[in-house]
Structure 1
């Protein structure tokens, strides 16, 4: 195997060719940064969190494929992944996870803020342990929600040098609800394969109530974000972003009405626009 081929396998292992996961992890972090700063945050802080998001998502994909090395070959969507197909060894995947995590942690230390750096430790633990949760808990998507929310308290700590939990906790809960909603749509794509191989997921747990619960989770997330906006006295543009996100959630319900796997996957991808709508509304509202 050539050097270029190996780099390409690592590129695919970290899903850099499919950046949807980066965006879904980045949007709530950006929400938190803008709310904490009351507008545009410090360029240094913004750079650290954006690059850290890319690195930790990539690290999470590497350890995920290590954890799923015995399952992925039996799932149509994942059988050609580098570890599942044998192009990358499990040991290489673990080493890549460690290296990327250490780079991200080193980047975090450039902030020279000890509380924020310490918050990075449980964030890394959540990212590294999530892939194994689908063996033990019936709704691993909730654990993923916690992992994808780790940047929220870190953002407030980095900017305000404290974690105002009265603001942070509702924002975390809103994000966890959103993550469970969109990752349930993602799990609906693989539900039949997951049932065969014994992998747990919210799509299996929710059963025929899956779409209803996804709708309720989206609604809960939006209501919490509306309350946050009211408490922070945000303006019309922010709430317009919330309205667009609500329309997108309704659109996802419509296209998944027959639970067609391809439609469920499109609905999952559509959540990138959901997160972006909220951020754009927040960005514009705090800019004027």
Structure 2
């Protein structure tokens, strides 16, 4: 392999860059990808252009990596106090702060260039909002207990962008999908924040997990119920059939399972509940494709 032909120091640097950009942890990319695909397939009436599928698959990967770089830059002083993050390359000094900022800017510029070259004007205008949300989210945990809400907006902004690229307009359904995904993101990222809650309280990091306290699982359950309800409204507006609603049923069943996983609020259980959301997003996408194709 080409990597094995490189000097050991170069291999170590590449491994650190991969860790900074979370290339070794694709869960964030997948959680961003499924709702983007929902939007593409709905806006394209079941047949989105191959070009847009490629553009937004690549864009999701690039912008998720950019978000990870700026997140670690923002948290570089705090991460050393959190068990899960204390070995990140920026926190340990294996990567410099300016490198993380440079990677964020470079990845955003590449994404912008793709939008300029291969999509339309409306998508281009929307892309600036996406870049802004990706930049400000990591700093919100210093100022508000709702950084998960800003993450939800950042993770959901690909929905109007994808819709605009495919249909050259936005609709009520676009914003229903956007709202459902914001709520879903807040729910699953609260599970994620529950993993670090004890450490976060010690160092003063704010999150919905800290804000919700003992009501965390109940509030997550309410958010999950709202997600399913709004996606039912989407199905009614799009005149979708049984396969789509079967996908929603699977999502709802997985939400119940996630509550079971996190029942004791243990780190491992909460993390498993967070990871399980990948299958919830896939279930909706699979149901949507089957319904629009068959």
What TM-score comes out, normalization by structure 1 length? 0.98
Measured after TM superposition, the shift of residue 279 of structure 1 is 0.5
Q: Which residue of 1 aligns with 2:134?
A: 127
Give yes or no for contact 1:187–1:201 (8 Å, CA) kept in 2.
yes
Measured after TM superposition, the shift of residue 40 of structure 1 is 2.7
Q: Which residue of 1 aligns with 2:25?
A: 18
What does 1:1-288 correspond to in 2, within 5 Å?
A: 2-164=9-171, 166-288=172-294
Measured after TM superposition, the shift of residue 139 of structure 1 is 1.0
Superposition RMSD on alpha carbons, in Å?
Answer: 0.9
Q: Which runs of 5+ in 1 are unaligned?
A: none
Q: Which runs of 5+ in 2 are unaligned?
A: 1-7
Q: Secondary structure at the match of 2:205?
A: coil
Measured after TM superposition, the shift of residue 111 of structure 1 is 2.0
Q: Which residue of 1 aligns with 2:3?
A: none
- C-alpha separation between the residues in 2 aligned to 1:261 and 1:5? 29
- C-alpha separation between the residues in 1 aligned to 2:132 and 2:163? 20
Give yes or no for contact 1:188–1:261 (8 Å, CA) kept in 2.
yes
What TM-score comes out, normalization by structure 2 length? 0.96
Measured after TM superposition, the shift of residue 256 of structure 1 is 1.0
- C-alpha separation between the residues in 2 aligned to 1:44 and 1:169? 23
- C-alpha separation between the residues in 1 aligned to 2:218 and 2:64? 29
Give yes or no for contact 1:21–1:57 (8 Å, CA) kept in 2.
yes
- C-alpha separation between the residues in 1 aligned to 2:175 and 2:163? 12
- C-alpha separation between the residues in 2 aligned to 1:200 and 1:112? 37
Relative to structure 1, is the Cα distance of residues 217 and 112 closer, same or farther in structure 2, using a 3 angstrom cutoff?
closer
- C-alpha separation between the residues in 1 aligned to 2:220 and 2:119? 40
- C-alpha separation between the residues in 2 aligned to 1:121 and 1:255? 38
Matched pairs, number? 287
Give yes or no for contact 1:59–1:97 (8 Å, CA) kept in 2.
yes
1:72-120 Cα distance to aligned partner (Å, 9 max, x none): 0111100000101110011111001111111111111222411111110
